Amino acid sequence: MFKLSQPFFAEINNFLKIKYIYVLSIVTLLITAFFSVGYYHFDEHFQILEFAGLKLNMTVAGNLPWEYVYKMRPAIQPAIVVLVFKLFHLAGVNNPFTIALLLRLLSASVAFTAMYLIYKAYYKTLNNDTLKIWFSMLSFFLWFMIYNSVRFSSENWSGSIFMISFALLNIRQFQNKYYLLIGMLLGLSFLFRYQTGFLIAGLILWNLFIKKSIVKTAFLTLGVIFLIGLGIIIDRWFYGSWTLTTWNYFNMNILQNRVSDFGIHPWWYYIGQTFVQGIPPFSIVYILSIILVFIYRRKDLLTWTLLPFLLIHFIIGHKEIRFMFPVIGFLPILIIRSLEIVQTKWNGSFLENRFVRIFAKWFWVVNLIFLGIVAFSPADGQISLYKKLYTDYKNPSTLYYIENNPYHRVLDINFYKRPNLDVVKLSSVKNIELSVDRKTLFVTKDKNVANEILTRKELIYSTYPKWIKTINFNNWISRTNCWYVYELY
């Protein structure tokens, strides 16, 4: 039942014409950007949106992460948020949820540009029709690439812009002055996330020692330096004084080792996490492809670019899987290159092997299932609570709570909260004060506490819809992060 014949692949090739792949990928990104509200990691929100909120008078410096005090974070992404906010304010759009959606759409457009250019750079180098089909699918439909592509995060933006620069260098030869522009793109990727500097260093060293292009390397380097200078000016605008955030970041995290305060992991952490989170056994493909390319394509630009980045991250004690997000866009070509290596060195009929074709089929079945999940799921389920209160309670309101403040997530979230919403902690529901000129709300994770409220109340929000409660076997809902919001009369 799993036999995949050549006519089968010919039919796929006819169906998957490249323009339809582009359109389908764009539609998938649009759907994911619409539904994937919230953030993957706290930094995606607090280091960007809340930083921007300081300039938009949404928050105060005392509520920002500790990095603000030491002026460690680059200000370019908060600057983009401020710019988008002010531009759409002129059109009468002030809703932070709309702005966040626009930022995700902007992120998706930059990421798709990177996907497209990397695809164009390598597609014509492939001689095998099967590999061309697989490369097309891998380039535009890997589920975790799609998920990451809509994130307004430093990892996504730095990786996407670096990939654009990388692809341009591979597509064609340019005049020297254009290498200055590409160098500026490299510098821009550095401003979004300083760790991208290891990718840039590898790329520049390859141009210098392997390609032996001294003049072009000089133009690339000048472009990087120019953008770093621009970044200093942007940081001056944000922090209010001249500072070198690059040095501050290195000094605090590496020299003073503050990064270790967030946990230390062994060197093989990324291998293990890639295997587990990439969905085994298919995730072994990602790991083996990188190893094969590094071993058998030692002079390849891919190896020179990626190896320094990976080595440094393997050495540094504090590790998070998101630190690898800037380079996941290279996985499609790494996989294809590794298959070429296997075909050339060991097994010329490897791609025709029945087991390989069955494995490939189930790889895409599983990938499409997870793609459907991430495309229609929020990155953070709590955003719907914020949106409910922001949308339905525009007049002055008070939100009471006893144990859990939904607007406190490591720090207070102000970006999605109206200024006229007061959040007040109580020791008992008996202390709730009703007001004639303010809406009175109560939020809890324990419905039994709400039952103690004697005044008339209405449940206006629940994390899960009512029908979910009909399948509350073994009371599993009580063990989840479920919120209930009541309006009191």
Asked whether the beta carbons of 402 and 427 are under 8 A apart, the reply is: yes
Look at residue 378 and give its three-state secondary structure: coil
Asked whether the beta carbons of 339 and 295 are under 8 A apart, the reply is: no
Higher-scoring residue by pLDDT: 176, 27: 27
How far lies 446's CA from each of 80, 313, 434, in Å? 40, 42, 21
Instruction: List, for residues 135-150, the tens digit of each pLDDT value.
Output: 999 999 999 999 999 9
Q: How far apart are CA 370 and CA 36, in angstroms?
A: 14
Q: Is 230 left (phi over 0), alpha (psi -120 to 50) or beta?
A: alpha
For the chain, percent of residues with pLDDT exceeding 70: 93
pTM metric for this prediction? 0.93
pLDDT confidence band for 158 (50 / 70 / 90): very high
Q: How far apart are CA 204 and CA 209, in angstroms?
A: 9
Q: Is 317 exposed, middle or buried (0-12, 13-18, 19+ CB in 10 A)?
A: middle
Helix and strand tally (H, E) in the chain?
20, 7
pLDDT on residue 1 = 38
Instruction: List, for residues 234-283, the tens digit of each pLDDT value.
Output: 999 999 999 999 999 999 999 999 999 999 999 999 999 999 999 999 99
Q: How far apart are CA 358 and CA 342, in angstroms?
A: 18
Q: How far apart are CA 245 and CA 76, in angstroms?
A: 11
Does residue 2 surpass a pLDDT of 50?
Answer: no
Residue 46 DSSP label: I
User: What rounded mean pLDDT belongs to the chain?
Assistant: 93
Tokens of 153: 């995060």
Average of per-residue pLDDT across 182-187: 97
pLDDT on residue 360 = 95
Residue 411 DSSP label: E
Contacts of 292 (CB under 8 A, 6+ apart): 337, 338, 341, 342
Strand 397-401 versus strand 439-444 pairing type: parallel
For the chain, percent of residues with pLDDT exceeding 90: 83
pLDDT confidence band for 464 (50 / 70 / 90): confident
Tokens of 352: 């025709």
Q: CA nearest 371: which of 119, 107, 36?
A: 36
Higher-scoring residue by pLDDT: 40, 469: 40
What are 452-460's contacts with CB under 8 Å, separation 24+?
453/429, 453/486, 453/488, 455/488, 455/489, 456/488, 456/489, 457/486, 457/487, 457/488, 457/489, 458/486, 458/487, 458/489, 459/484, 459/485, 459/486, 460/388, 460/392, 460/485, 460/486, 460/487
Best-predicted range by mean pLDDT among 25-34, 124-133, 441-450?
25-34
Does residue 441 surpass a pLDDT of 50?
Answer: yes
Q: How far apart are CA 314 and CA 294, in angstroms?
A: 15
